[in-house]
Amino acid sequence: MLPLLLQLALTPPAPRPVYSGWARELRVATPRFNSTIRVDGELDEPVWSQAAILTGFSEYQPVDGRPAEDSTEVLVWYAPDAIYFGIRAFERHGPDVIRATLAQRDNISNDDNVEILLDTYNDHRRALLFAVNPLGVQQDGVRTEGQDAMAGGASAGGRFDGVVDVNPDYVYESKGHLTPWGYQVEVRIPFKSLRYQSADPQTWALQIIRQVQHSGYQDTWSPTVRANASFLIQAGQLEGLTELHSGLVMDVTPEFTTQIPGEQTAGGWDYTATPQLGATVRWGITQNLGLNATANPDFSQVEADVAQVTVNQRFALFYPEKRPFFLDGLENFNTPNRLIYTRQIVQPDGAAKLVGKIGNTNVAYIGAVDQPLPADGLPTDSLNPIFSMLRLRNDLGASSTVGLLLTDWLAGSFYNHVAGVDSRVIWRKIWFSSLQVAGAWTRDASGTPRFGPLWDLTLFDRTGRDYGNHAEISGISPDFSTRSGFVPRTNVVSGNLFNRRSWYGQPGATIEQFQTYLMISEAWHYTDLFSPSFHLAGGLEGSVSDQLYMTLRGGWQLAGKFGVSHQRFDQSAYASYAIDRGVDTVAYGVPNGLYGLWSGSAGVTSPARSLQVAVTAAYGATPVFDEGSEGRETDLNLSLTWRPTVSLRFEGLWTHARITRASDGSRFSLANIPRLKVEYQLTRAIFVRYVGQYLAQERDALQDPRAGFPVLSPDSAGTLVPVAASTENTFRNDVLFSYNPIPGTVVFLGYGASLTEPDAFQFANMARTQDGFFLKVSYLFRL
């Protein structure tokens, strides 16, 4: 026995497995150890010396197919209950050029960072994203492909890397620190936080992305080329994963909230607390299927949505989902044309959600009982709308899909049912085609049941390295309506044709990448499409434009756009208008169409340093929709991010929009929206924040564009009155203290107030119109 032990002691350890992405060694035999380590960012436990090493990174942005300038090593192994990653990011210029701040969760995009993409179903459609900066601060979310045809189409084969949503949060551990040679981070991702296959053994797809801020480069471990319609299909693989134990997946999150709104009375302001208890339960029925349920959830937001210019705006504005209950598995509900939009569920008394994957089919369902809205047009104010949203998506081949959508909105005798199918087929690697067909059956306050179709066909989309194109046509009937989705415009048929050309500079060149997008679009009334007099030249609106993008060495981004458009006006929009000519009143009539509307814009974005600035300026002719006339629009947008210390962060936004009438140069509208956010991060879990946002918008009284006479419109009693000027000057202030060590465990204490004044930015006669305090306490129990 003794000689045998001596022989084993003298036997050199087996060589560590090394997998070079550059050499296309992408199939990783993942080591498994029954070990438990302390996540402290040191990588000094013996188990790390036996982990697999992923190296040989290559550049992906701005130019693909070149060796990375800086080397990166990622160590990987797994235990029965978690998977571990050790990151060594080497920086040849030294640690002084590395951007690392003590940021709030999900706010590390301007820092150096490394993303771990885990495609736990190995289906090349979606991957969980776990990112860390050099200090171990976390960002997480989901990266999906082929979900939003409308968003993906406009890039002419440019959105090959899919859509990233960083709103979902997962529980995992990470610690990191700077070193003389770069930085090092240790990551532990428990299987409890993941949904994955039920097979044993199983294979997960893996991609590692490193973002280097001083150069603006993005490197990947598995070589990824632009000439491919799928980013995720080019990932490597973690093979031989066996005996994964997530244990009982049961998260219980009780929460206490209270809002103390202020109400102005004769004696001042009175405050009344409205405390509420609620809870959310997450149960992993199986490894790949989870059920969430909630009762009396808190759906108030701790930060107001960024204000948008609404003057001269014809359609509803889209705001992303931010509420925790809906964010888990939200990517599974994605559909072309956003036929599922969870923000339609405003304030549910209770809701349940089932999300996961059974075989090759993604399953996602939400059911909710919502509180009635006073102005929702319901038969009575006591009706609670009931929502049901079902999304099924089946995998076809390597990365193609076919999907089914069913949504219901019920409120007494009112209803809205939507059913649809969609498919996306990738062919010859760089091409895809897609189709969506849906129908809506609606009965609302109009009392008459109606049916309306929606369809969207991408004829082809080519994602080549040097050349890409996209051709799409879609139609939405005027009778199509969705109470569960977001379709801002109906009665329209749109045709789009886009072409992209890309050029790449040689290593060390000043211009690293240059792209041009030629875009042609046209829209017609849906009802005109089936008219015998329909012709392609009679479009409602359209444009021809060219967009230019340039990436300079060091991370600078330049952009420009030049185009010409035309606009015809919808007769029904002006049917209630009249003109006061002083001596008589006459019908408004249909405004003339506008043609040859030229416009241009230019923008620059500085590299992500301690101070980053982005500026965009635009000027050109534009339709003034309220008057049916031609105007001149000037737009300025300024974004500034400044991090003077590791813990302090300033974010500033300013939007300026001004429209003048082309006929006489008079001002039609003016909007200025400055926004300031200041954050101080005491620790990774504790921060304080102030957000101040001023919304100043004004619009002139409406005038007849032909002679300048006042425009009349019926008031609530049916009497024709002048359409007067409107002004809004609102100053919103929000202060928040946050303690958030892990997702689900939070303490939020905040105060918000809205003030108005007659003249913008005077700050002299401000009157408080609304204020209130907010407290939320919740705790995540992982059983």
> What pLDDT was estimated at residue 382?
65
The structure's pTM equals 0.88
Of the chain, the percentage scoring pLDDT greater than 90 comes to 67
pLDDT in tens, 99-133: 999 988 898 989 999 999 999 999 998 999 999 99
Cβ atoms of residues 696 and 678 within 8 Å: no
Cβ atoms of residues 674 and 697 within 8 Å: no
Band (pLDDT 50/70/90 cuts) for residue 166 is confident
Backbone CA torsion sign across 128, 129, 135, 137? negative
Residue 146 has pLDDT above 80, yes or no: no
The amino acid at 130: F
> What pLDDT was estimated at residue 379?
60
Q: What is the mean pLDDT of residues 459-481?
A: 93
Strand order in the sheet with 720-722: 585-587, 578-580, 711-714, 720-722
Distance (Å, whole) CA 726 – CA 701:
7
Residue 562 has pLDDT above 70, yes or no: yes
Quickly list H helices, 275-429: 324-327
The percent of the chain in helix, strand and coil, each rounded to the nearest 5, is: 5, 55, 40
Distance (Å, whole) CA 589 – CA 584:
15
The amino acid at 274: T
Q: Which residue segments constitute the domains of the chain, with CATH numbers given?
A: 12-241 (2.60.40.1190)
- DSSP, residue by residue, 1-41: -HHHHHHHHHSPPPPPPEEETTTT--EEE--B-------SS
Peptide bond into 180 cis (omega under 30): no
Residue with the larger pLDDT of the pair 16 and 783: 783
Q: How far apart are the first and last CA of the chain?
A: 46
Residue 238 has pLDDT above 50, yes or no: yes
pLDDT in tens, 663-699: 899 999 999 999 999 999 999 999 999 999 999 999 9
Q: What is the mean pLDDT of residues 152-158?
A: 44
> What pLDDT was estimated at residue 601?
98
Distance (Å, whole) CA 385 – CA 376:
10
The amino acid at 613: V
Mean per-residue pLDDT of the chain: 89
pLDDT in tens, 442-451: 998 877 899 9
pLDDT in tens, 375-418: 566 666 567 899 999 999 999 988 899 999 999 999 888 999 99
Residue 153 has pLDDT above 60, yes or no: no
The full 3-state SS of 270-312, as one line of letters, equals: EECCEEEEEEEEEEEEECCEEEEEEECCCCCCCCCCCCCCCCC
> What pLDDT was estimated at residue 1?
39
pLDDT in tens, 413-438: 899 999 999 999 999 889 999 999 99
